[in-house]
Structure 1
Amino acid sequence: MAITILPPVVDDLGHRPPYHAESDDSMSVDSDEDIDMTGTGSRPHKRPRLGGKIGTGVVTPGEVVTDDPQWMRGHGTYINPLSTSIIATVAGTVHKTNKLLSVHPLRARYTPEIGDLVVGRIVEVQSRRWKVDVAAPLLAQLPLSAINLPGGILRRRTSADELQIRSFFSEGDLVVAEVQSVHQDGSASLHTRSLKYGKLRNGVFLAVAGTGGSGASSSNVKGGVGSGSSGAGANPGGAGGVVRSRRQVWTADTANGGGEVDIILGVNGYIWISKHTDGAAAASSTTENVSITRMEEMVSSSIYSSQNDEIAPQTRREIARLAQCIQVLVQGGVRVEEGTVMGAYEASLQVDLEVGDDGEDEEDRQEGREYLEGSKARRILELEVQQR
């Protein structure tokens, strides 16, 4: 059987546009499209890749960040073993550190770091430690040797302390602590060896996204402000969360006769707002020439109490106002820090004055004064932006 050899098909070059080296439409090595090798004019769709130029937009899981071999992969990425492409594993923004590429997720759980101030909830009591929920992928642990016990901070922990470990912290208790170390698996070890750490009382608990996320929820706990729970709607794409590099514990002077209120912003997104109590000063005032060790002994005898103090209605109202101001910030995508919280609080007071000038009755104005949603929330955000 004879074999017929067909001549090659040559395109008509006269119908092709001339090639210009300086044209913006010319093909380059960084082109995001495939070269047409078939001559049919159709080009197959290909996933866009950034090549040597790293963008600053949002990438999705499975998207190729770059295929340049000079870059190294960081958190939130992996390298295809069959190529040099760096592929995103989470949805987030691309960050460059010298030649290291990492993707910071838009919404993720808290990653512990040494020195972080966190607010946590006791979820399990073991023989020599407590398991604490700090909004991290793994539960943190609070060893018995990392807390202050009655009898002095240098007292040796005995078997009697292990038997009555539940009298110090039990399931459901809220604590404020500091991250002492981070283990290889990502879990954290906490400690409360300071007067500013320990069990939380006389306040309200809030939970916001810890890593640039959105959505907020709050629940009244410990009987200090009320009972039950309430929630706030999520804000997709927001930039909320607690700022790590700002002061996280401060005392605010509230209006309307509320007195002083303590605010604790945990890096993990857990927030505690409570009535101000100066336990160290009260303990030291009972005696003269009290040493630091003696002060620790006197204070530690009462810091493990779960009984709440009496809170005036004016203080309860201002605690609720601060909690709603934080929810307004999170819903608006504003990062939570001391400046933004106090700015939103001052703005809420100004909004109350504006509402009071509308000619309504005094009884009608007082009834819904603590509700900061809808038009009030939008007005508070506008005033907060103007203050900054």
Structure 2
Amino acid sequence: MKETQLNLNQTQKIRLQRALDTLHSVSSKSLSDASVTVADPIPVNLHDSSILKGHGTLDLDGELISTNCGIVERVDRLVYVRSTKSRYIPETGNVIVGRVVEVAQKVWKVDVNAYHEGSLMLASVTLLDGIQRRRNEVDELNMRNIFEENDVISVEVRNVQNNYTAQLQARSDKYGKLDRGQLIVVPCYLVKKRKQHFHQLDQYGVLIILGCNGYVWVGELIEAKDSMEVDISEQTHGGFTKSEEKEQHTTSLETRQNICRISNAVRVLAILGFNITVEVILEIFELSKSLNVEIHDMLGGEFCVLVAEKEAERRSKN
């Protein structure tokens, strides 16, 4: 928890500490959510030959000991400790959000919150026309028509090189440039790899992308148009003028408020150090609306303490 971001009075500090103690007692019973420090024992049965000891663990006198501070993770038979202070370590198949920092020859350099910038090759991107073909010199000259510096994009890790440099790809329609939204940076250990990282909230008109690298995107949900439909529309109406196109893409006030409220819900989870899932985000979103909490007041001490208490109560019941 980032205590420096919360201005709490004495009563709120006591309430928050009580909630965190409850959460710690509950999480210590679960291997997947247990937080450990150096020399803490990890509750596993080492007599089970199927157990694989991973990074951050040490077999000492028949007991599995943590060698760093972090979160105990278990992937099938592998048990390891994921550090809470390290940068993102790319893994093949991860859905991530990044920011373009450089347009080079046939490649975009992307900030992915790792030790090295990711590489997105021109051949690994779906072109604007959608046709699968070899990339030529004209495509290379038009790279900035696809992505340019400071663009926020969603991509997938294709593979990882020996120096942990991520090779990226954006071959599906769900990947690509993101706009009209907010990019929130959270510790990468708070976002776990799941089957679904794209969440379309149709009732709120919001798209949430939980990047495994700790970059979370909250933006307007835009309905993708079929390319043939767009061509017919342009032939019929002669295309949009710049003023008409700007009016066509105006985001409604209600959608902007939903984006800001959901973004602050993500920030509250990051401040408290809770795992970030779409279910918990929506619970905090609905809680703030039911209590008539203003968007800017969601980052205040009282609401954060209330969220911690609600989370402690929920986990205790589960």
Q: Do they fold alike, i.e. is TM over 0.5?
A: yes
The structure 2 residue matched to 1:330, chosen from 270, 285, 307, is 270
Which whole-Å CA distance do the structure 1 matches of 2:65 and 2:307 have between them?
41
Q: Does 1:267 align with 2:212?
A: yes
Which whole-Å CA distance do the structure 2 matches of 1:192 and 1:72 have between them?
33
Which whole-Å CA distance do the structure 1 matches of 2:86 and 2:288 have between them?
30
Query: What corresponds to 1:173 in structure 2?
Result: 151
Instruction: Please show how residues 303-322 of structure 1 align to structure 2 within 5 Å.
Output: 309-322=249-262
- Using the TM superposition, give the Cα deviation of residue 333 of structure 1 relative to its aligned residue in structure 2, in angstroms: 2.2
* Partners of 2:36 and 2:66 within 8 A in 1: no
Cα RMSD (Å): 3.6
Structure 1 SS opposite 2:147 = coil
Query: What corresponds to 2:123 in structure 1?
Result: 145
| TM-score, structure 2 normalization | 0.69
Query: What corresponds to 1:7 in structure 2?
Result: none
Instruction: Please show how residues 107-186 of structure 1 align to structure 2 within 5 Å.
Output: 107-186=85-164
Which whole-Å CA distance do the structure 2 matches of 1:167 and 1:314 have between them?
31
Which whole-Å CA distance do the structure 2 matches of 1:351 and 1:162 have between them?
53
- Using the TM superposition, give the Cα deviation of residue 189 of structure 1 relative to its aligned residue in structure 2, in angstroms: 0.9
Query: What corresponds to 1:340 in structure 2?
Result: 280
5+ residue gaps, structure 2: 1-33, 42-48, 233-244
Task: Look up the equivalent residue of 1:371 and give its one-letter code.
Answer: D
Q: Does 1:75 align with 2:50?
A: no
* Partners of 1:351 and 1:379 within 8 A in 2: no
> 1:378 and 1:102, CA in 2 relative to 1: closer, same or farther beyond 3 A?
closer
The structure 2 residue matched to 1:250, chosen from 199, 210, 218, is 199
Q: Which has the larger radius of gyration?
A: 1
Which whole-Å CA distance do the structure 1 matches of 2:209 and 2:179 have between them?
12
* Partners of 2:157 and 2:168 within 8 A in 1: yes
Q: Does 1:376 align with 2:303?
A: yes
- Using the TM superposition, give the Cα deviation of residue 163 of structure 1 relative to its aligned residue in structure 2, in angstroms: 2.1
5+ residue gaps, structure 1: 1-55, 80-85, 212-240, 289-304, 356-367
- Using the TM superposition, give the Cα deviation of residue 96 of structure 1 relative to its aligned residue in structure 2, in angstroms: 8.7
- Using the TM superposition, give the Cα deviation of residue 94 of structure 1 relative to its aligned residue in structure 2, in angstroms: 6.7
* Percent of aligned positions that are identical: 32
Q: Does 1:105 align with 2:83?
A: yes
Structure 1 SS opposite 2:128 = coil
Task: Look up the equivalent residue of 1:251 and give its one-letter code.
Answer: Q
* Partners of 2:200 and 2:207 within 8 A in 1: yes
Query: What corresponds to 2:9 in structure 1?
Result: none
Which whole-Å CA distance do the structure 1 matches of 2:195 and 2:76 have between them?
26
Task: Look up the equivalent residue of 1:133 and give its one-letter code.
Answer: D
> 1:243 and 1:123, CA in 2 relative to 1: closer, same or farther beyond 3 A?
same
Query: What corresponds to 2:221 in structure 1?
Result: 276
* Partners of 2:54 and 2:80 within 8 A in 1: yes
Higher relative CO (Cα under 8 Å, sequence separation at least 6) belongs to 2
| TM-score, structure 1 normalization | 0.58
> 1:72 and 1:115, CA in 2 relative to 1: closer, same or farther beyond 3 A?
closer
- Using the TM superposition, give the Cα deviation of residue 97 of structure 1 relative to its aligned residue in structure 2, in angstroms: 9.1
> 1:263 and 1:100, CA in 2 relative to 1: closer, same or farther beyond 3 A?
closer
* Aligned pairs, number: 259
> 1:380 and 1:92, CA in 2 relative to 1: closer, same or farther beyond 3 A?
closer
Task: Look up the equivalent residue of 2:220 and give its one-letter code.
Answer: K
Query: What corresponds to 1:231 in structure 2?
Result: none
- Using the TM superposition, give the Cα deviation of residue 107 of structure 1 relative to its aligned residue in structure 2, in angstroms: 2.1
> 1:122 and 1:344, CA in 2 relative to 1: closer, same or farther beyond 3 A?
same
Task: Look up the equivalent residue of 2:197 and give its one-letter code.
Answer: Q
Instruction: Please show how residues 46-61 of structure 1 align to structure 2 within 5 Å.
Output: 58-60=36-38
- Using the TM superposition, give the Cα deviation of residue 347 of structure 1 relative to its aligned residue in structure 2, in angstroms: 1.1
- Using the TM superposition, give the Cα deviation of residue 98 of structure 1 relative to its aligned residue in structure 2, in angstroms: 11
Moved more, 310-319 or 115-124: 310-319
* Partners of 1:246 and 1:338 within 8 A in 2: no
Which whole-Å CA distance do the structure 1 matches of 2:275 and 2:257 have between them?
24
> 1:172 and 1:346, CA in 2 relative to 1: closer, same or farther beyond 3 A?
same
* Partners of 1:59 and 1:88 within 8 A in 2: yes
Structure 1 SS opposite 2:286 = helix
- Using the TM superposition, give the Cα deviation of residue 148 of structure 1 relative to its aligned residue in structure 2, in angstroms: 1.2
C-alpha deviations, 1:321-345, integer Å up to 9, x for none?
Answer: 0011111112222210111111111
- Using the TM superposition, give the Cα deviation of residue 252 of structure 1 relative to its aligned residue in structure 2, in angstroms: 1.7
Larger helix fraction of residues: 2
Which whole-Å CA distance do the structure 2 matches of 1:99 and 1:167 have between them?
46
> 1:378 and 1:286, CA in 2 relative to 1: closer, same or farther beyond 3 A?
same
- Using the TM superposition, give the Cα deviation of residue 120 of structure 1 relative to its aligned residue in structure 2, in angstroms: 0.4
